[in-house]
Amino acid sequence: MNDSWAKLKNAGYRTRLYRRTLERRQIEQLAFLPRDPWPGDAKVADELFQGRYRFVGREASAPNQPPWRLRPDDAEWLAALHGFAWLRHFEASGGETALAYARRLVRSWIDLCDDIDPLTWSPGVLGQRLVAWLDHGHFLLQGADVEFTTAYLGSVAVQWQHLQRTCGDAPSGGEELLALLGLVYGGMALPDEDNAVEKALQQLESLMARQTMADGGYNSRAPSDLMAALRHLIGLREALGASEREVPDWLQGKIDRMAPMLRGLRHGDGGLALFNGGVEESRDVVDITLSQARVKGKAVLSAAQSGFQRLAAGSVVLLADTGAPPAGAWGRQAHAGGTAFELSIGKQRLVVNCGSGRRRSAEWREAARGTAAHSTLHLENANAWPISATGDFGPEPARLHCRRHEDDLGNAWLELHHDGYRQRFGVIHRRRLYLDASGEDIRGEDRLDTGGSTHAGGPSGPSDEVAGRAVAVRFHLHPDVRASAVQGGSAILLRLKGGQGWRFRASGAEISMQGSVYLGQSGPIRRAQQIVLSTTTKVDGNVIKWAFRKA
């Protein structure tokens, strides 16, 4: 939407005349209230009791007063606060004190946030708030006086009617999904809105057809986003069933495909891989998500559309990013980490990517998206897929090709290549990842091919301009891994948290240890280490071989 037009519309929404059009409908009771299928955390409720509001990795305090004026310049934090998903923690805490405090916060929001603010009344935030208020409506309304009940019902009606008018303004991505969910939940709750529910479900079907892939993946290619979308769809399925409405086939079909995909992106510790802005997530949250999905499908091993591969043997899990970043708006949070891999041994992560900068500063977001923050080859300090001035990867990012092989003995390997560096540096990156059937022999090869490439629009064939450029193959280590050089620096001994040892060797490049950071968890940034294989490009190409073997 054009910025000038958006400002004009937002100004109109704040007028008394527009408000009157929303307040014409009076609601005496709701036709239906769903139940939140996800458990809360009483410990988080205790923090909220104390006025400590911790969202998206940042905290603000407002003891003994409403929090609605905190962090006015932090849009992401405000969206989480005004989205009210945290109500589940009060319901989990239970008791009259928790109920009274939750009710007080809802009532203060109605009193203090009545003006239609462009952020806190935006379609995505509004949709999430409606879902949360209705999911916890039984909790909020039990024993409530007439004054609170009237204010609650009136606000639900006003918010839903405004969402009906503005849902189409939601930006592409997760906000579209939240806005449509708000329409469906509000339509189920308000009397005589069956037609609105059916219309919103049809829109939601169309949206999910655009936002998901045939193998169950999510367009952003972030495992965390996949899980968030799956949880929303599971919650919707449960709400429709509880309201005695038929669950659409498309909805169950999406859940049936997304759950095995999520399983395929788990490490041995039960958390998720760190691709394209995802974080580890809690093992318990992933477990209950898959349990509530009620889908028995095995973990997806080869996801061609989504661009992920899973190799598993013994206690070892190797997860590889085998797809290019998404084009257009979906790419604005994706990473230039194609061909990167992560490796876990049992419940311990060994090789990782640096993680997500989404909930950090702009500088951390930019750094985490770069190729250098991933366990792959990095050429001339440049991203394998250049990030444009608008923050995306352009309309047609360079493709990444993958072939998977498995033999009768249970050995498996991947052959990958992309030409993201071809136009700028005249080389094609080829990577081979191998895992033997025992899980004790993990090998790789990174090759830079110059023959037949086109450099800077010039003719095919090797060029002297190709030679002498800096090459670094990076292996970011989880912060719990201890690494030390052995055998005069020709090998690295890696010690996992549980004490198990692995040995790393390489040829074709110089081995060194450097510092790294880990942003894979929602807490503070952790210091870590990385193994770096360094060399320079040669006219006839490069071959760098490396291996992890159990010590």
Amino acid at 146: V
* Residue 344 φ/ψ, nearest 5 degrees: -125, 145
210, pLDDT greater than 70: yes
C-alpha 179/C-alpha 176 separation (Å) is: 5
Per-residue model confidence (pLDDT) at position 410: 94
Mean pLDDT within 375-386: 96
- Candidates 411, 383, 258, 249; CA nearest to 324 is 383
For the segment 286-322, what is each residue's pLDDT rounded down to a tens digit? 999 999 999 998 999 999 999 999 999 999 999 999 9
Q: pLDDT (tens digit, 9 = 90+) per residue, 77-124?
A: 999 999 999 999 999 998 899 999 999 999 999 999 999 999 999 999
Compute the distance between CA of residue 294 and CA of residue 364 in angstroms, rounded to an integer.
Answer: 37
Question: Is residue 533 a contact partner of residue 543, using CB atoms and an 8 Å limit?
Answer: no
- Please name the CATH architecture into which domain 307-550 falls: Distorted Sandwich (2.70)
Q: How confident is the model at residue 551 (pLDDT cuts 50, 70, 90)?
A: confident
Q: Yes or no: say if 425 and 469 are a contact pair by the CB < 8 Å rule.
A: yes
Going by pLDDT thresholds of 50, 70 and 90, the confidence category of residue 464 is low
Cα separation of 121 and 189, whole Å?
Answer: 19
Residues β-bridged to residue 401 = 417
Fill in the amino acid letter for 461. Answer: G
Query: How far is the C-alpha of 4 from the C-alpha of 12, rounded, in Å?
Result: 13
The position carrying tokens 């193994």 is 531
- How far, in Å, CA of 94 to CA of 480, rounded? 37
Nearest residue to 254 via CA among 285, 278, 279, 231: 231
pLDDT (mean) for 509-534: 95
Domain positions in the chain: 31-167, 307-550
Task: Give the count of alpha carbons within 13 A of 260, CB side only.
Answer: 18
pLDDT at site 23? 85
Helix (H, G, I), strand (E, B) or coil at 18: helix
Give the type of residue at 31: A
Of residues 189, 192, 266, 162, the one with CA closest to residue 223: 266
Q: What pLDDT is recorded for position 329?
A: 85
Instruction: Give CA–CA dist 252/147, Å, rounded.
Output: 40
% the chain with pLDDT above 70: 97
Distance CA(185)–CA(250), nearest Å, equals 18
- pLDDT score, position 463: 54
Q: Which residues contact 459 (CB under 8 A, 6 or more apart)?
A: none
Average pLDDT, the chain: 93
- Residue 267 CA neighbour count, 13 Å, CB half: 28
Q: What is the pLDDT of residue 33?
A: 97
- As given in the structure block, the two tokens for residue 460 are 């095919």
* pLDDT score for 64: 85
Locate tokens 């257009």: which residue?
A: 328
